[in-house]
Amino acid sequence: MADPILQISGLEVAVDDTPILKGVDLTVPQGEVHALMGPNGSGKSTLAYALAGHPRYEITAGSVIFDGQDIVEMEADERARLGLFLAMQYPVEVPGVSVMNFLRTSINAIRGEDISPRDFIKLFDAKSELLGFDRSFADRYLNTGFSGGEKKRHEILQMAMIEPKFAVLDETDSGLDVDALKVVSEGVNTMRGPGLGVLIITHYTRILRYIKPDVVHVMFEGRIARTGGPELADYLEEHGYVEFGAAEEAAAPAG
């Protein structure tokens, strides 16, 4: 087994002084794809934002070791420069900032040096072709007027260009139709490999039909309640989260 790129021990997180995570233990070896499932309100997105360094999510106990370093006291930009990437459930619109400017600024910030215009265009063209990203979006304002699928595709393009060591995909399947879900999943699968660890956070199992996880974790009431192989997702699709105390399904409604 590869060394863990992410090792979370006894993590407790509060939002506005309300405890949400109550002792999370989670280890992801580099190169593996893990899925984190659970009913609404179980703490999945809280974990994502706490890992990324959102100031509203206060880590009150525990440790988060990323690539050998404890990142609990680090700012969000420091975590990003170490190689941690977050794809948000609801990507924000940024009027006045083009996709190209945003991507180039992001790469410069992560690398700590300016990428030349020529090298940037070569990288953009290569990744766009690899992921099937419509280059006509390059000059549009970031996420402004984008459909849900277009926003998620852009995040995957951003991920491909930055080339992080670890990606947290928070409810990436939320609001996507089947075609958009396939495109986004193909993008993630294209980047999958020994140099990238992935944590897919999802309520439903449908994205896991396209991105096969190595390990599945179930979160309930701020803790990891169960860990298993890919078959655990199939079990949840059939039985839902009833045995964990939540009368919710893990399979998305038809339609």
**Which CATH number belongs to the domain containing residue 18 in this structure?**
3.40.50.300
pLDDT tens digits in sequence order for the chain, 255 residues long: 578 999 999 999 999 999 999 999 999 999 999 999 998 899 999 999 999 999 999 999 999 999 999 999 999 999 999 999 999 877 888 899 999 999 999 999 999 999 999 999 999 999 988 777 888 888 899 888 888 878 888 888 999 999 999 999 998 887 788 888 888 898 899 999 999 999 999 988 889 999 999 999 999 999 999 999 999 999 998 888 888 765 566 666 544
Please state the domain count of the chain: 1
**37 inside domain:** yes
**217 inside domain:** yes
**29 inside domain:** yes
**63 inside domain:** yes
pTM for the full model? Answer: 0.90
**44 inside domain:** yes
Which range of residues forms the domain containing residue 75?
4-93+163-244
**β-pair partners for 32:** none
**48 inside domain:** yes
**66 inside domain:** yes
